[in-house]
Structure 1
Amino acid sequence: MRLGFIGFGEAAFEMSSGLKQQGLEQITAFDPMWNHTKFGALVQERAQKAKVELLSQSEEVLARADILIVAVPADKAYDASTALKPHLKQDCVYVDVSASSPDVKNKISENVKETGCRFVDAAMMGPLPVYKHKVPILASGDGTDTFIQFLSPYGMEISKVSENPGDASAVKLIRSIYMKGIAALLVEMLQAAHHYKVEELVIDSISETMDGTSFASTMNRLVTGTSVHALRRAVELEGSIEMLESSSINSVMSQASKEKLQLLSSFNFKEKFQGKTPAHWLEVISEMQS
């Protein structure tokens, strides 16, 4: 089995380093920056360190590869598929690991399938420097089974989501709403706590509330409870926002939370649920989408 990379940045370097250690011998790569005056040396150094054959033309990689992993920035992913399309082999599996949206992944899939290639939408769900080739990957698309068959023996952790390109990326991007959002919210909270010199009290209080139950249980409680108390909680946040602004601390996350709570209150959940907290978060979301 021959593996090729288009784009040899951190992701490709870490994956190929691990795969080489697991015994995958035939790995080639092309990066458009390979001979760049500023960044070329880094690309070449990575290839040498990972023991990957760095080629000067993308067509050379495509001619050899059975599995092609395209690791380019999200805003370049579709254009890359268009540029590579004339040179793709019919029996190749095209794996896009960019953080593109589901719509873009579908467009790339359509591009690739016109050549007879199979497509994989691959979403990497962890830090590459930590996991290397063993980074958990969610995969969808008609090439997923072959992708798993060829690379699982080398230690790659690939889980199939579906046959639909875009489904794997949807999971990653939806997860990011929480992971990136909660990080930004924590920064805002900690700025305020540090300003008022109450860090330990705030952190200990939240820990006591959050540590006792699972994420799923806490999520359900917060969503269902908020649905019937959204307006009151939006009003309460106004005090937090005033406090932040009086302390010259940016309140963008609290402002957004207040706006979301005001939107929730417009659904009149308290009346719909007759003042009772619903049992499951799905009841709330279903009402919002009905």
Structure 2
Amino acid sequence: MAMTIALIGYGEVGRILAEDLRARGESVVAFDLKLAGDAGAAMREHASKQGIALAASHADAVRGADLVVSAVTASQAVPVAQACAAGLEQGAFFLDFNSASPGAKIGAAKIVNAVGARYVEGAVMTSVPPYRIKVPLLLGGPDAAALEPVLNALGFAARVASEKLGVASATKMCRSVMIKGLEAMVIESFTTARAYGVEDAVLASLKETFPGIDWEKQASYFFQRVIEHGRRRSEEVREVAETVREAGLTPWSAAGTAERQAWVADLADAGLFGTKGTKAFARSADWRTEADRILDHVKKTP
């Protein structure tokens, strides 16, 4: 059955989903707050090449859509649900792809369900680019079981985690305490080790303790991803911290991770790692290059 699909958020994830859905012949319309002006030039060019219709607003994008996929930054999960509500069709599925806390997902669900659409939380369980549309995806909520076969027929790799809202996102958030925290710790540890000239000794020790990890390769990957996506990651980890708070704990680790990710994002915005939007941006083959840039910056900063 042919579907009309609305993508809210046309960043890296939105564009990947758009490409894969269009490759299957699906009708796709998209909206992103950055579409207007110079900042959205790359988005508009991509949409034109892929045959994606661009809407003028959230409500316009979702009007007439059978499936809405919200793929924005973590802090925008609830505001996007509010912005889309006026245009949602009765019975339309609203898949919340965002890395938000269980509380935020439950809040977004109330907004969507109140206008007669069907909210389903989605928890993306690893980085999207290597898997593209087939990235492992956990679904949650009363309508998750109904949406699962629809998504998988479109090429997704989705499975129901729970009929209870919040379970899928809690799984994602608890994983992110570790994964995003490890990214931040590697950047902090390896850059500090570089400053003291002990990086080889640290790497050798880590290899002995965790022989299954190629720390050189992993470090370069972590540096690259945080430099490119630290802003989005920091927002996600703030949602992770909120998840920890909702469980009654103080999020010391998650809060620190969010600060480190945001700090690297600030350096990237300032051009420390090259010009954003170019192929060379954050593409160093060696994490040491990026660590040295950070150390040079720190030395010059009063």
Give the TM-score, by structure 2 length. Answer: 0.64
Secondary structure in 1 matching 2:112: helix
Secondary structure in 1 matching 2:34: coil
Alpha-carbon distance in 2 for matches of 1:20, 1:179: 31
Sort the Cα spacing of 1:155 and 1:83 in 2 relative to 1 into closer, same or farther, 3 A. Answer: closer
Alpha-carbon distance in 1 for matches of 2:135, 2:210: 28
- 1:20 Cα deviation (Å)? 1.8
Alpha-carbon distance in 2 for matches of 1:16, 1:122: 17
Q: Percent identity?
A: 31
Alpha-carbon distance in 2 for matches of 1:101, 1:17: 28
Match of 2:28 in 1: 27
Q: Per-residue CA shift, 1:156-180, capped at 9, x if unaligned?
A: 1112111122222211111111112
Farther-moved stretch of structure 1 (38-47 vs 113-122): 38-47
Q: Post-superposition, which runs of at least 4 consecutive aligned residues in structure 1 deviate over 4 A? A: none
Q: Per-residue CA shift, 1:1-39, capped at 9, x if unaligned?
A: 221112222211111101222x132111222333x2222
Match of 2:7 in 1: 5
Q: Any conservation in 2 of the 1:3–1:28 contact (CA below 8 Å)?
A: yes
Q: Per-residue CA shift, 1:175-217, capped at 9, x if unaligned?
A: 111112222222333234334433333322222222379xxxx
**2:163 is aligned with 1:163:** yes
Secondary structure in 1 matching 2:38: coil
Alpha-carbon distance in 1 for matches of 2:37, 2:60: 22
Query: What 5-or-longer segments of structure 2 have no aligned partner?
Result: 214-251, 257-302
Secondary structure in 2 matching 1:65: coil
Secondary structure in 2 matching 1:202: helix
- 1:132 Cα deviation (Å)? 2.0
Farther-moved stretch of structure 1 (139-148 vs 8-17): 139-148
Match of 1:98 in 2: 98
Task: Map 1:256-275 to 2 at 5 A.
Answer: none
Larger Rg: 1
**2:16 is aligned with 1:14:** yes
Task: Map 1:1-290 to 2 at 5 A.
Answer: 1-21=3-23, 23-34=24-35, 36-211=36-211
Alpha-carbon distance in 2 for matches of 1:189, 1:90: 51
Sort the Cα spacing of 1:172 and 1:45 in 2 relative to 1 into closer, same or farther, 3 A. Answer: same
Alpha-carbon distance in 2 for matches of 1:78, 1:196: 45
- 1:140 Cα deviation (Å)? 0.8
Alpha-carbon distance in 1 for matches of 2:18, 2:188: 38
Query: What 5-or-longer segments of structure 1 have no aligned partner?
Result: 214-251, 257-290
- 1:99 Cα deviation (Å)? 1.6
Q: Which amino acid aligns with 1:127?
A: S
Give the TM-score, by structure 1 length. Answer: 0.67
